[in-house]
């Protein structure tokens, strides 16, 4: 049978494997939650940027409209001046000024129209994005809640697994446990390695007969001479080896008895022959 601590070591290793998997999930879940938060935040920033652009265009439009109104007032005053001009040179200068002012105002009016069209397009884009973002916020919100629930449940399972590990550790020899924890702390997993066909399953070194026989006897915890991992044999191998040993012992005893019987029979024949010789001599 196995060394008394070996079953506990294997159970401890199974718990450590489970705890390791929980830790990996524990890292992954917050990362996924953070990715959702970042995606939603990016969408909200994009919406705010659209709002800010619409607000900027509105301010620009209002400023241009104010400039148009101010220019229109000046144009009206310039038109009034036309009737007051008394020479051709001044008249032409005023007309040129009027034409230039009217052209600039038409350009402003065209700019207002362009801004209004661009603003309307941006508002439509924002409405569409808001609708998409609203659905995404709903879907990702549900996913985030599910991940948060999974994280909470995982923390519970992790806490339970750690408590169970602590309980298992109490039933393992302190020296062996210290050796196991040292190797596990150095990342030498699995710490406990199976022997396959008399070879360490981890480093594939051939296990010396002395160590192999000790594991069959179950009298000591043994380490691989190469990788230093704690070794164990499957119970079926131990049972088969022990059965073979019992069979070999029984055969040896049977052979010894047969030899003893053969020796006894030979001696009996010798004694009988000696007795016959003695009788013949007496005659």
State the CB neighbour count (10 A cutoff) for residue 35.
13
- What phi-psi label fits residue 7: left (phi over 0), alpha (psi between -120 and 50 degrees) or beta? alpha
As a 3-state breakdown, the chain gives helix, strand, coil percent values, each rounded to 5, of 80, 5, 15
Mean pLDDT over residues 156-174, rounded?
A: 93
What SS3 class is residue 80?
helix
φ, ψ dihedrals at 224, nearest 5°: -65, 130
pLDDT for the residue numbered 8: 92
Instruction: Give yes or no for residue 109 having a pLDDT over 90.
Output: yes
Q: What percent of the chain has pLDDT over 90?
A: 48
- pLDDT for position 1: 61
Three-state SS at 228 = coil
Report DSSP letters for 203-222, one per residue. T-PBPPHHHHHHHHHT-S--
Higher per-residue pLDDT: 25 or 243: 25
Q: How confident is the model at residue 153 (pLDDT cuts 50, 70, 90)?
A: very high
Cα gap 281→277, rounded to integer Å: 6
Domains annotated for the chain, with CATH where assigned, are: 6-169 (1.10.287.1490), 174-233 (no CATH)
Mean pLDDT (the chain, rounded): 87
Q: Which position has the higher pLDDT, 71 or 279?
A: 71
Mean pLDDT of the region 182-200? 90
* Selection from 22-31, 237-246, 267-276 with the highest mean pLDDT: 22-31
Whether 276 shows a pLDDT value over 70: the answer reads no
Tell me which range, 105-119, 226-240, 247-261, is most confidently predicted by mean pLDDT.
105-119
| Cα angle, residue 47 at apex, residues 42 and 53 outer, rounded to 5° | 125
Distance between CA atoms of residues 223 and 206, nearest Å: 12
Stretch 118-135: mean pLDDT? 92
Please give the angle made by the CA atoms of 73, 75 and 80, to the nearest 5 degrees. Answer: 100
């Amino acid at each position: 049978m196995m060394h008394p601590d070996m079953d506990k070591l294997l159970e401890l290793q199974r718990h450590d494997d489970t705890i390791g998997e929980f830790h990996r999930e524990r890292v992954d879940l917050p990362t996924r939650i953070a990715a959702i938060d970042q995606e939603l935040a990016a969408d909200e920033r994009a919406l705010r940027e659209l709002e800010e652009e619409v607000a900027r265009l509105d301010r620009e439009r209002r400023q241009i409209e104010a400039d148009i109104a101010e220019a229109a007032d000046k144009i009206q005053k310039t038109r009034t001046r036309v009737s007051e001009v008394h020479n051709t040179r001044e008249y032409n200068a005023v007309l040129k000024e009027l034409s230039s002012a009217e052209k600039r105002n038409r350009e402003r009016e065209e700019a207002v129209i362009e801004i209004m069209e661009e603003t309307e397009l941006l508002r439509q884009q924002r409405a569409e994005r808001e609708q998409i973002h609203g659905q995404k916020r709903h879907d990702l919100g549900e996913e985030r809640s599910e991940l948060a629930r999974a994280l909470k449940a995982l923390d519970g399972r992790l806490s339970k697994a750690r408590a169970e590990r602590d309980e298992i550790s109490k039933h393992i020899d302190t020296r062996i446990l210290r050796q196991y924890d040292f190797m596990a702390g150095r990342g030498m997993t699995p710490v406990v390695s199976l022997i396959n066909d008399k070879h360490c399953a981890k480093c594939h070194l051939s296990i010396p007969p002395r160590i192999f026989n000790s594991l069959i006897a179950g009298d000591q915890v043994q380490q691989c001479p190469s990788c230093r991992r704690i070794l164990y044999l499957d119970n079926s191998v131990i049972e088969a080896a022990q059965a073979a040993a019992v069979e070999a012992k029984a055969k040896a005893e049977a052979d010894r008895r047969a030899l003893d019987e053969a020796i006894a029979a030979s001696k009996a024949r010798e004694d009988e022959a000696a007795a016959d010789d003695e009788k013949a001599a007496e005659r």
